[in-house]
Amino acid sequence: MLHGLTLVVSERSVTADNLCAAVNSDGLPARVVSPAEVLAGRYADEDCADFLLINASLRLHVVGRLTQWFMQRNSRLPTVVMFAERDFRELEEHVTAGLDYIIPPFLPGLVGSRLAAFHVRQVMSRTARDIQFAANLVKYERELHIGREIQAGFLPDVLPAPEGWQLTARCQPALEVGGDFYDAFEVLGGTRIGLVVADVCDKGVGAAMFMALIRSLIRHTAGCLDPCLQPGAPAGPERDAAGTLLSQAIVTTNRYLTTNHLAQGYFATMFFGVLDPADGSLVYANCGHNPPVVRRADGEQSRLWPTGPALGLVPGSVFDLGRIRLGHGDLLFAYTDGIPEAKDVNGRFFGDDRMLALIQAKDSGADELVEMFERRLAAHVGFAERSDDITMLALHRRPDDRDAEARGKAAAGPPWRWGRPVDGGPAGR
């Protein structure tokens, strides 16, 4: 025997009253309520209704609103059955949509048995849908896992290790896949190191696909434009070959994106620098990205502000170049906005001030600084949902031996550690 409140959702009529009386005769508490009364929440006990007998004179979209109203308040869907008063043609769109129905005469005993049958059928149907949904979810999660592995493959297996330098990076997507990435690769015959940190304007699968495209474009164009790889190129690169390569790679990538993908609405901010490890000179372009921080050996900080707009946003954009030199003991920290905008459970940001205070630690090398950020960010976010991808890259020029001796400190930093991040951590050597 079924139990639970039954609502006959209809304007008052002889047919609605007869149906309500038949349900009551079968031992189920029932009452007639108007659609307007339901949507206005006029009855507190409507939240726990197990059956909805709805007048077929209501259009299908109104029926949808009624059932959604009950689900929002009861987190489950009642058994829904349509009934007709006089014009059975009113049932057509509801039956086509897969809803059950009853028609007069409404006889005690018959109504109860029909409702019991409808209840069992709808419960079984929902169970089958739940099983199918669970199967689809498993498949979706497997495909996302594969997507994460593929995206991880776009990050470098091994970071360049020029003598006297320490280079460390992390990438932690907010979702299974994301739009942040970093890269580090040799250019100009191995005499320079290209450093990239970028952030696509979204997260998830779409941003991950766009990230893969941009990373491939930058790598490909930098390789194709490398004069040291061209037939007949001189043995030694010209003095400003790094700036020429960087500028042309940025312009070529922006041209391709704005020509072929402007309609998709995706764009990316990017910091792209080319380092000469021999003398510490760095030529860079900041394409609308968060300004990397340079911490000098004496603790003084400066920032590398944008030199042009984001990539893929404006056709024909002009990108200027910036130039700095990293001396012994200096450190470069490039990052995406997932660091200062990381939120705790109360919605408070990690913030620029806290980020700059961590970078200020004068004795930290690249490894120590990145690991310190990981700990502090994890403590700040806690159990809050990750709101954005987090990517960071730290480059530290080791102190000169003579400088270190003068300060009474060891010249060598911590052991090299590099590799593709897996779940936020590097693969150790």
Q: CA-to-CA distance for 344 and 332, rounded, in angstroms?
A: 27
For the beta carbon of residue 16, count every other beta carbon within 10 angstroms. 21
Torsion of CA 7, 11, 12, 15, to 10 degrees: -80
CA atoms within 13 A on the CB side of 83: 26
pLDDT at 150: 64
pLDDT digits (tens, 9 = 90+) for 277-299: 999 999 999 999 999 999 999 99
In the DSSP assignment, the letter for residue 425 is: B
pLDDT digits (tens, 9 = 90+) for 197-250: 999 887 667 777 788 888 888 988 887 776 655 444 444 445 588 899 999 999
CATH class of the region 6-128? alpha beta
Query: Tokens representing 391?
Result: 């990517």
Cβ atoms of 210 and 263 within 8 Å: the answer is no
Whether 157-407 and 6-128 are alike in CATH topology: the answer is: no
pLDDT digits (tens, 9 = 90+) for 152-211: 666 788 899 899 999 999 988 776 566 788 999 999 888 999 999 999 887 667 777 788
CA angle 401, 404, 406 (to 5 degrees): 110
Q: Is the pLDDT reported for residue 370 higher than 90?
A: yes
CATH fold for the domain made of 157-407: Phosphatase 2c; domain 1 (3.60.40)
* Domain boundaries along the sequence of the chain: 6-128, 157-407
